[in-house]
Amino acid sequence: MRLWNKLFCVPGETTVKYLPLIGLEIHAQIMTRTKLFSGATFDDDARTNTSVALFDMAIPGTLPVLNKAAVMKGITAGLLLNCTIPERCQFVRKHYFYADMPAGYQITQQNHPIAHSGFFEYYVHCNDEASSFIPYRKCVDILRIQLEHDSGRTIHDFSNNRSLIDFNRAGVALLEIVTSPTMNSALEAYCFIEQLRLTLIENGLCEGEMQKAQFRVDVNISLGGDDTEVVRTEIKNLNSLCMVYTAVNSELGRQYEILRAGGTVLNETRTVDRYGNTIAMREKEIEMDYRFMPEPNLPPD
């Protein structure tokens, strides 16, 4: 493995140091027989658009019915991650328009999640036998765990210049696990994801097959300097450990080169190309207002 040092230094008369700050947003599909708000079952191998209930398609007149098993597994995840479990949580609507979200909003949680204020201890290690790396223990704060439902899956048909939607995944229960930005290298992020994923699998909370998008990662990255404002970039939808490791190293290197040249890192959302380089998707300043509002059909009581 290629290891980035935790501290970047710019040579010159006055040494400027940059500390990588990495936070994660992890989306893990919960192992339940039915979806979060409908009675439809979900099978990764089912034919396209066959595991869909009327509610999953946002048909007018249908109402959400909360899956008790998903709630219990959300609480279990919170206890595993040493979180506080509140007496009451609340679902909200997160509004945005995209073809794989037919209602025009996602039912999720915001200020009152199912669990919050936890931590996860793990070991940072390197699998390279030739490396002199010494493993060490790391503790990362868990800011919150949210229950939410998944979107459909977009299938791009480039030969016919069109995109198709499979709604089988729409409505599947998700855990969104949000960490503090206290990881300082790609290796620390890699080991955190690896060991958290195994913890959830071993406790029967998710299957964790990343190649099937059952365990997806968004990474927030910034370089904090002595005299620079910290600007965060987000890398979306990483679905393999190797991709996370490569993307974090690539983005840290990109930001370092910009700062070393006296430039400014933009606050933006990025994705990863086939070569592991991060490429811009959109600037944060122009992102939409999600207009969060309480979900009226799922009162907190």
Tell me the domain boundaries of the chain: 8-294
Q: State the Cα–Cα distance between residues 50 and 43, nearest whole angstrom.
A: 9
How do residues 224-233 score in pLDDT, each as one tens digit? 766 567 888 9
121/137 Cα distance (integer angstroms) = 7
CB 220 within 8 A of CB 25: yes
Residues of the chain with pLDDT under 70: 1-16, 129-130, 225-228, 284-288, 301
pLDDT digits (tens, 9 = 90+) for 164-218: 999 999 999 999 999 999 999 999 999 999 999 999 999 999 999 999 999 999 9
Give helix then strand counts, H and E, for the chain: 3, 14
At residue 274, the pLDDT reads: 82
pLDDT at residue number 301: 57
Cα separation, 228 vs 263, in Å, equals 11
pTM: 0.91
DSSP summary character for residue 289: P
Give the per-residue pLDDT at 44.
86
Q: Is 191 helix (H, G, I), strand (E, B) or coil?
A: helix
Confirm if 244 and 210 have CB atoms less than 8 A apart.
no
- The rounded distance, in Å, linking the Cα atoms of 251 and 234 is 10
* Whether 174 contacts 147, CB under 8 Å: yes
Q: Is the dihedral of CA 141, 111, 114, 107 positive or negative?
A: negative
77, containing H or E segment: helix 68-80
Single-letter amino acid code for the residue at 33:
R
Q: Note the pLDDT of residue 9.
A: 52
Q: Is 106 helix (H, G, I), strand (E, B) or coil?
A: strand
- Per-residue pLDDT reduced to its tens digit, 82-103: 999 999 999 999 999 889 999 9
